[in-house]
């Protein structure tokens, strides 16, 4: 088992790079509301940045690639894209963010049928990074770093950027001689209300100023440091209560959320856009409930997305969930190596599984996966009653390392499950416990896990497990959004059967 875990963890470092933080040098000089090529920023070493520093940008690019893949119906374009994505996978292995970013950008453009000129390629290569994802309302401006993730084999043209938060904008002009990274400040509008806002980015050239645009989540809250200090103290006091008890899940959630809020306060966007203001307010409500007499849970009975943590012997297990008190079905999704609880929500087809669950009124739970050997019992034993108390069926979906995890969990809890769907996975050991459990096995035709998935399907069929097996014209990453609609159609059929 341990050798299998090791090989799976090595085979794909991340499909959507999550669970890291961008880290640039501290600001040496601030620009005003307008910045030009005067050389106001200090030169920095050129070359590929370290992998951990580009996780947010790589995630943004991966989601763009997934959207382009899902929108492309041209079989030839799709086929031509597969080797390019495999190049990105090799970049993940080597930890070279520049190689990965360039492969993702070029592949997305090819899938869209675009032929980018030199200016388009320079625009695509840029990264824009706010210094922090969560700031105090009293802060007058947001520090932003402009850099490149990779070099373009063409002279850099004059580039323009419009960076805006609300109605306040900074206009930036980069010439061929402007040193990168380049630092600017974007002024905030005065506000008295907590807000989950965004840094709106538009990049182009003087003649075409909006060649590409995107948004980066930035949250602003009042009295931020005082509120974080109060939450930190509450977490320390409340987590000293004897465990386990009726509120151990709430306390585990509190501890994890406080750590997350501190990270949002201290760092650039970690891996995806998170509603820091709403997370802060919801965590304060969680503390109020735990301090009430008698204590009460604010996690019970809610609907919609939420962040929570299940208590385990190793500590809190973070999960991102879509709660639905009336849901007849709960789907549990285990992500691949290098990901986090955000991966199925924001990646794997730009959140395809969330759309599929919402369309059916189903609930969804996505725990963080580090190893199939970890304790995921609370996910099966505790989360269904919290997220979908009326659910009659539970399905498990997993990709790559998450597929192995799904199979391990299913061998322990087969009697509680309605079916499992391992994508690009292999049998982690004995499968006898799965004999009566409907299973949908899938992989890509150019997937390095194809042989393992084929062997898994053969083993299950040999023991007469109800098995569906399907291959998709894809590789290891893009097979997931292709397979999910068929998996959900398969689950629809099983959910309609009498128990």
For 424, the 3-state DSSP assignment is: coil
Its sign, for the CA torsion 53, 55, 60, 64, is positive
Distance between CA atoms of residues 308 and 315, nearest Å: 13
**What contacts 1, CB < 8 A, 6 or more positions away?**
372, 373, 428, 429
**DSSP H or E segment with residue 311:** strand 304-312
**Which CATH architecture is the domain 2-220 placed in?**
Sandwich (2.60)
Q: Which two tokens stand for residue 488?
A: 């959900």
- φ, ψ (nearest 5 deg) of residue 434: -95, 10
Element (H, E) at 438: none
Nearest to 395 by CA among 355, 342, 340, 357: 357
C-beta neighbour count of 81 within 10 angstroms: 23
In whole angstroms, give the CA distance from residue 341 to residue 347: 11
Whole-number Å distance between alpha carbons of 465 and 432: 9
What pLDDT is recorded for position 53? Answer: 56
What is the pTM assigned to this prediction?
0.89
- Angle at which helix 2-11 crosses helix 401-413, to 10 degrees, equals 140
Residue bearing tokens 């997937």: 447
Phi, psi of 27 (to 5 degrees): -60, 130
3-state DSSP call for residue 284? helix
Q: Give the pLDDT score at 240.
A: 76
**Measured between alpha carbons, how far is 118 from 114 in angstroms, rounded to an integer?**
13
Question: Which pLDDT value is given to residue 47?
Answer: 35
Q: What span, in angstroms and rounded, lies between the C-alpha atoms of 285 and 262? A: 17
Q: What is the spatial distance between Cα 91 and Cα 150, in angstroms, rounded to a whole number? A: 12
Secondary structure (3-state) at 326: coil
Q: Tell me how far apart the alpha carbons of residues 125 and 159 are, in angstroms, rounded to a whole number.
A: 12
The pLDDT value recorded for residue 241 is: 63
Instruction: Give dist(CA 275, CA 264) in Å, integer.
Output: 10
pLDDT, residue 97, reads 87
C-alpha span between 337 and 425 (Å, rounded)? 12
Task: Find residue 195's DSSP bridge partners.
Answer: 220
- Per-residue tokens: 380: 């099966």
Record the tokens describing residue 113, joined without a space: 């049928």
Segments making up each domain of the chain, as ranges = 2-220, 223-298, 301-496
Residue 447: partners with Cβ closer than 8 Å, 6 or more residues away: 424, 453, 474, 475, 476, 479
Question: For tokens 């019992």, what's the residue?
Answer: 377
CATH topology of domain 301-496: Rossmann fold (3.40.50)
Listed in sequence order, the residues at least 6 apart from 236 whose beta carbon sits closer than 8 Å to its beta carbon are none
Number of H helices, E strands in the chain: 15, 17
Q: Which residues of the chain have pLDDT under 50?
A: 1-51
Query: For the chain, first and last CA: distance in Å?
Result: 33
Question: Per residue in 461-483, pLDDT tens?
Answer: 999 999 999 999 999 999 999 99
Report yes or no: 22 and 54 within 8 Å, Cβ to Cβ: yes
CA nearest 35: which of 161, 155, 128? 161
CB atoms within 10 A of CB 82: 20
Q: How far apart are CA 348 and CA 478, in angstroms?
A: 7
Sequence-ordered alpha helix ranges (H) in 20-111: 55-71, 75-94, 97-111
């Amino acid at each position: 088992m341990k050798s299998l875990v090791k090989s799976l963890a090595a085979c794909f470092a991340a499909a959507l790079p999550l669970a890291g933080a961008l880290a640039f040098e501290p600001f040496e000089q601030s620009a005003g509301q307008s910045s030009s090529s005067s050389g106001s920023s200090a030169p920095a070493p050129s070359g590929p940045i370290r992998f951990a520093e580009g996780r947010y940008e790589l995630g943004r690019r991966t989601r763009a690639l997934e959207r382009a893949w899902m929108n492309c119906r041209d079989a030839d374009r799709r086929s031509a894209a597969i080797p390019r994505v495999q190049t990105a996978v090799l970049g993940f292995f080597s930890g070279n963010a520049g190689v990965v970013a360039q492969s993702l950008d070029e592949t997305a453009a090819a899938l869209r049928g675009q032929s980018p000129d030199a200016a388009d390629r320079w625009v695509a290569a840029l990264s824009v990074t706010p210094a922090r994802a969560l700031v105090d309302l009293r802060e007058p401006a947001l520090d932003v770093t402009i850099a490149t993730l990779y070099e373009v084999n063409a002279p850099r043209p004059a580039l323009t950027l419009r960076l805006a938060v609300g109605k306040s904008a900074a206009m930036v002009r980069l010439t061929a001689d402007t040193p990168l990274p380049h630092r600017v400040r974007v002024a905030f509008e005065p506000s008295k209300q907590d807000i989950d806002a965004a840094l709106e980015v538009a990049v182009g050239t003087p003649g075409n100023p909006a060649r590409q645009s995107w948004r980066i989540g930035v949250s602003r809250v009042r009295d931020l440091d005082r509120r974080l200090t109060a939450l930190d103290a509450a977490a320390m006091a409340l987590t000293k209560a004897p465990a386990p008890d009726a509120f151990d899940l709430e306390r585990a959630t509190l501890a994890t959320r406080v750590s997350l809020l501190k990270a949002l306060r201290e760092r650039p966007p970690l891996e995806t856009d998170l509603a820091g203001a709403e997370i802060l307010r919801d965590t304060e409500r969680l503390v109020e409930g735990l301090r009430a007499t008698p204590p009460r849970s604010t996690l019970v009975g809610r609907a919609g997305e939420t962040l929570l943590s299940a208590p385990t012997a190793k500590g809190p297990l973070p999960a991102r969930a879509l709660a639905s008190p009336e849901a007849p079905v709960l789907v549990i999704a285990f992500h691949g190596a290098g990901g986090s609880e955000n991966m199925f929500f924001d990646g794997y087809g730009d959140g395809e599984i969330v759309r599929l669950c919402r369309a059916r009124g189903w609930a969804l739970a996505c725990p963080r996966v580090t190893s199939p050997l970890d304790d995921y019992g609370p996910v099966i034993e505790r989360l269904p009653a919290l997220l979908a108390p009326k659910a009659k069926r539970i399905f498990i979906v997993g990709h790559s390392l998450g597929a192995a995890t799904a199979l391990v969990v299913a061998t322990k809890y087969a009697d509680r499950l309605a079916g499992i769907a391992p994508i690009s996975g292999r049998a982690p050991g004995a499968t006898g416990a799965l004999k009566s459990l409907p299973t949908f096995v899938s992989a890509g035709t150019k997937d390095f896990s194809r042989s393992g998935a084929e062997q898994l399907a053969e083993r299950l069929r040999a023991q007469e497990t109800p098995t569906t097996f399907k291959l998709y014209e894809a590789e290891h990453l893009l097979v997931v959004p292709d397979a999910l609609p068929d998996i959900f159609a398969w689950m629809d059929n099983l959910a309609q059967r009498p128990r």
